[in-house]
């Protein structure tokens, strides 16, 4: 796995919640959406996404529902109220963190005295 992907995996829960913010999706569609949004930098194995969706459902952050599409049973996930609150908190925390790190990395060095 690439270094960026490893780093992003640490934020997998938030990425999954953000992907589902636009509306309900099934597991494979979640993975496709993540790939499209992250491009080649985000190469998460599918095998990590399905168990993570179940884990988030078990934690009450996602709601999973079965439907029948094209004769196949399909499980679709959507955000719960708790999931929306978690996503909102994660977004605020990430923005604050990114702002702090950016301000340090892009700071103009002080002139030597």
Minimum distance of other proteins from residue 27's CB (angstroms): 5
**By CB under 8 A, is residue 6 in contact with other proteins?**
no
**By CB under 8 A, is residue 65 in contact with other proteins?**
no
**By CB under 8 A, is residue 72 in contact with other proteins?**
yes
Query: Which residues between 17 and 56 bind other proteins (CB under 8 A)?
Result: 26-29, 31-32, 45-48, 50-52, 54-55
User: Which residue, 75 or 84, has its beta carbon nearer to other proteins?
Assistant: 75
Q: Residue 77 in contact with residue 62, Cβ under 8 Å?
A: yes
Concatenating the DSSP letter of every residue in the chain gives: --HHHHHHHTTHHHHHHHHGGGS-EEHHHHHHHHHHHHGGG----HHHHHHHHHHHHHTTSEEEEEEEETTEEEEEEEE-HHHHHHHHHHHHHHHHHHHHHHHHHTPPPPPP-
**By CB under 8 A, is residue 9 in contact with other proteins?**
no
Which residues are near other proteins by CB under 8 A? 26-29, 31-32, 45-48, 50-52, 54-55, 58, 69, 72-75
């Amino acid at each position: 796995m690439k270094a960026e992907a490893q780093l992003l995996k640490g934020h997998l829960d938030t990425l999954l919640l953000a992907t589902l913010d636009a509306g309900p999706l099934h597991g494979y569609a979640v993975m496709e959406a993540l790939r499209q949004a992250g491009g080649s930098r985000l190469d998460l194995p599918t095998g990590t996404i399905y168990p993570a969706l179940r884990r988030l459902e078990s934690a009450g952050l996602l709601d999973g529902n079965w439907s029948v599409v094209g004769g196949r049973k399909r499980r679709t996930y959507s955000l719960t109220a708790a999931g929306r609150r978690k996503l909102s908190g994660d977004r605020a925390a990430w923005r604050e963190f990114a702002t702090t790190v950016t301000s340090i990395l892009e700071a103009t060095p002080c002139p030597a005295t």
